[in-house]
Homo-oligomer: A and B are copies of this chain.
Amino acid sequence: MAVVFHRLLDIDEALRKLDEALGGIRTLGSERVILDEAVGRVLAQTVEAKVDSPPFDRSEVDGFAVESKSVYGAEEDKPVRLKVVGQSKVGALPQVAINAGEAIEIATGAPLPRGSNAVVMAEYTKEEHEGGAVLVYRSVVPGENVAQAGSDVMVGDVALRQGSLLSYREIAVLAALGYDEVAVRSRPRIAVLSTGDELALPGDPLTPGQIYDVNGVAISQMIREMGASPQYLGIVSDDYGDLKKAIGEALKAHDMVLTSGSTSAGLGDVIYRIFDELGKPGVVVHGLRIKPGKPTIAAVVDGKLAVGLPGFPVSAMIAFSVFVRPILMKMMGLKAIPQGWSQQARMAYGIQAGRGKREYIPVSLTSSPEGMVAYPLLKGSGATSTLALADGFVEVDERRESLEEGELMGVKLFSPKVPLAELTIIGSHCPGVDLALELLGEIEAKVINVGSTGGWLAVKRGEADIAGTHLLDGGSLEYNTPFLGKYDLRGRAVLIRGYARRHGFLVSKGNPKGIRTFKDFTRKDVIIINRNSGSGTRTFIDYQLREIGINPEEGGIRGYDHEAKTHSAVAAAIAQGRADVGVSVEAYAGIHDLDFLPLGDEIYDFLIPVKRLEKRAVREFIETIASREFAEILGKRLRGYRVLPETGKLIAE
């Protein structure tokens, strides 16, 4: 049933094999475009200067053109008098020359007259209108305030080389050299197809088991951002006949076909077979020795290229970046990826990576006083949140076993346009934080949900500006404050009081299993949905079970191993009938139309490193939490939420 990836290729091998099978990846032809349409295109010609720049010795200021020797020794209290013999205005060559003791009035941008070699700025001169003379109060050195002809760009100089991606910087250079149009590479035409019976088009309703197609729009935009021309052909089902027809037709009308999905060695995979059957020599690359992106396949089909990308968006985007982009670059004659697409950053913490595969770790970048920090996102490449948080990825060589904490890495950005966060919030997720950010307004914030414990560690490592936390200390029954000592953060971080949120059991409407207490968790007819270790809610659940004499780790609780990472997953599991009960906040009962059995209020606070308290964005966040507006809106928007007397105040340090 399954296609087996017998021999995985590394990227360079795979590109070489494709190149061989094609008889060389051909660079496309060129076309001429006007400057205004040339941004984002690849230059197809070498641009030589046809005129000097500046084309004449040009004054860079308003003042008087002189021979520098004439004003030697001139000072504030010892001016030199020069005879004014004419004027040089912009736009025309002066008709007069000057000799020693003479000057010509000159405007910024005007040509220097013959005999002059410097310009005295107007503010160091005083005109004597009657005598047609000027007093000069300052000496100048030869060349002062003058842009010499050709000093900038000279005739025949290569100003731009073919193969450059044209930003407006290059367009400005072309304009300065007098070009009004330029030869650029034709755009490769790339067909984009998404495959999979589970896919729905964004905007359509989801039926059970379906997910939205992300790759269609994402891959199309990645292609466009490179200056090529994508055509999204929509979702094609996994049906062999439909798919073969769609891919066959796409190959005829385009330079390359990119599919995503249906490439892994499993149930219902057809892309491999279709690529192989549509033309010669067929599939050349049967899988890549990279992670993610292993199930990438590539074929040469009668001279055209067909690439099958993995279905998970982050996998598809990484495989596109490392494998398809170099092919497109060759087709477009593009020499180098622009600078803005990479950043240097230090790893926030060490991780295991590499070990025989070239591994690409999506990272979220956060700025710290010591420069950029890359926070590895390990949620898996199927995750939308990885998409939302990943600014790019780091490449780990197959010979590496791990990346070290603090290691300086080159981060390849998914796009040079990803926004830079001013405020980084790492910790327990809470919709109250989102509400505060909404009120806060003009701050670009990055919110990374790793649970309360993860938040404490992030503050300790200096990565987070703020960590949301609701950790219960079993001994004191206090929330959060006892952990300042436990994490050795006294004097280094403070706790700002947040708010209370009601939590309890979520059960199906009408509570069909009649669940009342934690004791019911041990019933044979009850399946629970648990939370992940490290989360505040998990700490609470385990504490409550032990209080009534149940050791949760001994087994006997059905579903205890089923760890949801979020409140919503708990609610969704119950709504979908996969579990009977879970612990969550009341706000989610309404969203999923579930019943809620309150257990009490818990306290959600904000842990902040002392050093970040003076950061503008942090200060404004605290002010927002403390504001009357937040107090008014919190309970209205989020059921079971309320502010406390100390909300927004420092409660421990």
CB distance from A413 to the nearest CB of B (A): 6
Q: Which residues on B sit within 8 Å (CB–CB) of A53?
A: 211, 383-385
> What would 14 more interface pairs be, CB under 8 Å, given A90-B196, A175-B216?
A53-B384, A90-B209, A91-B207, A91-B209, A107-B268, A111-B208, A148-B564, A148-B565, A155-B572, A164-B419, A176-B387, A339-B365, A339-B418, A340-B413
Contact B156–A431 (Cβ < 8 Å): yes
Decide if A57 is an interface residue (CB 8 Å cutoff).
Answer: yes
Asked, given contacts A143-B563, A267-B105, A564-B151, whether A343 binds B341 with beta carbons under 8 Å apart, the answer is: no
* Distance between Cα atoms of A157 and B46 in the complex (Å): 51
* Distance between Cα atoms of A225 and B168 in the complex (Å): 9
Decide if A635 is an interface residue (CB 8 Å cutoff).
Answer: no
Contact B206–A167 (Cβ < 8 Å): no
- List A residues 313-360 near B (Cβ within 8 Å): 313, 317, 335-344
Decide if A500 is an interface residue (CB 8 Å cutoff).
Answer: no
Q: Which residues on B sit within 8 Å (CB–CB) of A652?
A: none
A335 (CB) vs chain B CBs: closest residue? B444
CB distance from A207 to the nearest CB of B (A): 8
CB distance from A567 to the nearest CB of B (A): 7
Contact B339–A150 (Cβ < 8 Å): no
Contact B198–A158 (Cβ < 8 Å): no
Q: Which residues on B sit within 8 Å (CB–CB) of A108?
A: 264, 266-267, 311
A162 (CB) vs chain B CBs: closest residue? B438
Contact B388–A149 (Cβ < 8 Å): no
Decide if A24 is an interface residue (CB 8 Å cutoff).
Answer: no
Asked, given contacts A39-B221, A62-B264, A421-B336, whether A155 binds B111 with beta carbons under 8 Å apart, the answer is: no
- List A residues 517-538 near B (Cβ within 8 Å): 527
The segment from A177-185, A455-463, A539-547 found at the interface with B is A177-185
What are 16 A-to-B residue pairs whose CB atoms are below 8 Å? A56-B208, A62-B265, A68-B561, A90-B197, A108-B264, A152-B383, A152-B384, A158-B431, A172-B218, A176-B212, A177-B212, A180-B202, A181-B203, A335-B443, A340-B340, A340-B418
CB distance from A571 to the nearest CB of B (A): 7
The segment from A249-257, A397-405, A505-513, A573-581 found at the interface with B is A573-581
Number of copies: 2
Q: Which residues on B sit within 8 Å (CB–CB) of A317?
A: 172
Most buried by B among A148, A153, A171: A148
**Contact-residue bracket for chain A:** 35 or more
A567 (CB) vs chain B CBs: closest residue? B154
Q: Which residues on B sit within 8 Å (CB–CB) of A386?
A: 152
Q: Which residues on B sit within 8 Å (CB–CB) of A264?
A: 61-62, 108
Q: Which residues on B sit within 8 Å (CB–CB) of A382?
A: 54, 58, 60, 109, 147, 152
Contact B340–A107 (Cβ < 8 Å): no
* Distance between Cα atoms of A588 and B52 in the complex (Å): 12
- List A residues 571-624 near B (Cβ within 8 Å): 571-573, 576-578, 587-588, 591-592
Decide if A44 is an interface residue (CB 8 Å cutoff).
Answer: no
Q: Which residues on B sit within 8 Å (CB–CB) of A208?
A: 55-56, 92-93, 111
* Distance between Cα atoms of A587 and B420 in the complex (Å): 49
Contact A176–B384 (Cβ < 8 Å): yes
Asked, given contacts A343-B339, A387-B173, whether A168 binds B222 with beta carbons under 8 Å apart, the answer is: yes
A342 (CB) vs chain B CBs: closest residue? B420
Contact B416–A340 (Cβ < 8 Å): yes
* Distance between Cα atoms of A344 and B411 in the complex (Å): 13
A220 (CB) vs chain B CBs: closest residue? B36
Asked, given contacts A156-B591, A419-B339, whether A175 binds B202 with beta carbons under 8 Å apart, the answer is: yes
